[in-house]
Amino acid sequence: MKLEGRVALVTGGSRGIGRAIVERLTREGAKVAFIYHSNTEAADEVVATLKDDGHEAVAIQADAADHEQADQVVKDVIDKWGKIDILVNNAGIIRDGLLATMEPANWQAVIDTNLGSVYNFCHAVMRPMMSERYGRIVNISSVSAEYGNQGQVNYAASKGGMQGLTRCLATEIGRRNITVNAVAPGFIATDMTEAIRNAAEGEIKKRIPVRRLGQPEDIAAAVLFLASDDASYITGHVLTVDGGLTLGGV
């Protein structure tokens, strides 16, 4: 129970990596609120499953890319539980395509959701965490931030920006006992990667030294570590969790 007595807020928590993070944090003793955008059925199922296991979680429908909604979510969680100790920024989308033919709307949607939401929620929790003189912020980035993938200029830009934000913010608030880190997943088996897996899973595995795809639980374990007091002397770090995929580039 590494997180007993802690309160966590997770964006994009109804499925995939986000759901695994929500489940792991609650099972380590935290009270967890998570944001979802539109899939109410999936969000309700997560809450019901955790409740059946004796854990406390709440789902909040909101657009993570909306600054005012982010402020309201943080206010609501603090009103309910008195504080927020842990923030996990996981909300993200993909709108892949070559830059030459990419519509401006697809560029902006990815930047606003993947990077803008990190600003929104970090900004919203700053004063409460500084007042408590405690905080753990974990941003979910991607190996795409450092290794170019054709057709992902918007996604890679958003994740690269997130890593820069992580390092800069860590320098600003470390003296308040608030750490800011990121996790960079490699190829993880989620709904978002299903199309690629269906087309080339065998080839992808050959490029991964551990010879398997990552699971959402692999990322959740890394988040738990960075969110716990075991990582109290780690800040401004990007932890790559990719089974060795990027050892030879992607």
Determine whether 155 is an active site residue. yes
C-alpha–C-alpha distance, residues 180 and 172, integer Å = 10
Which candidate, 159, 178, 175, 162, places its Cα nearest to that of 226?
178
The residue assigned the tokens 């499925």 is 15
Cα distances (Å, whole numbers) of residue 203 to 33, 196, 240: 38, 11, 21
What does the chain come to in residues?
250
Q: How remote is the C-alpha of 8 from its chain's centroid?
A: 12
Strands across the sheet containing 238-241: 57-61, 31-36, 7-11, 86-89, 135-140, 178-185, 238-241
Strand partners, 138: 88, 181
Angstrom distance (rounded) from CA 29 to CA 7 = 9
Catalytic residue among 36, 134, 155, 233: 155
| Active-site residue set | 155
